[in-house]
Structure 1
């Protein structure tokens, strides 16, 4: 599912005020981090993640790996933070209407 430029701009605007819900530290991307990200994506569709100083992999690589392992799309990478989007299959979640 490739996002269009208009959709990326919309998601970046929505992600601006979000706080990171997934923190990647010294252990890099573990199965527990992937599970936490999947649960957050199912509940919110759009999440922000942060790579802490002790992490050995660069932020872009962490974003790509986590997106691949969760089946989501990287919306934006800025500094040590990145945003991921994946449409949720849950019915009780407020879905983001993409343009």
Structure 2
């Protein structure tokens, strides 16, 4: 199974349901996005497929730029953003999280 180009509404709803019970696994602090943070994010995303990320940045535009950068660098898809929390998804080769059609 390959990574979809875009998530359907049904798939986003399914992934939001899974992410609801998760705690943020990556917390982006005052230092912003660093190389070590991106390396950690990459390995965590490879292992878990779905990630909840919390950002300390207070400005909405800064948070949007951070999310866009992360999506571009990792090839992940945005599931949702609420306030300072975002949820991203990237399917791995041996997926344990099959998406609905």
TM over 0.5: yes
Number of paired residues?
96
**Taking CA–CA contacts closer than 8 Å with sequence separation of 6 or more, which of the two structures ends up with the larger relative contact order?**
2
Give runs of ≥4 in structure 1 deviating > 4 Å: 53-57
TM-score, normalised to structure 2, is: 0.84
1:55 deviates by 8.0
Q: Which runs of 5+ in 1 are unaligned?
A: none
Aligned 8 A contact 2:57 2:63 in 1: no
Residue 79 of structure 1 deviates from its aligned partner by: 0.8
- Please say which of residues 52-61 and 39-48 is displaced more in the overlay: 52-61
Structure 2: gaps of 5 or more residues? none
Tell me the C-alpha RMSD between the 2 structures: 1.9
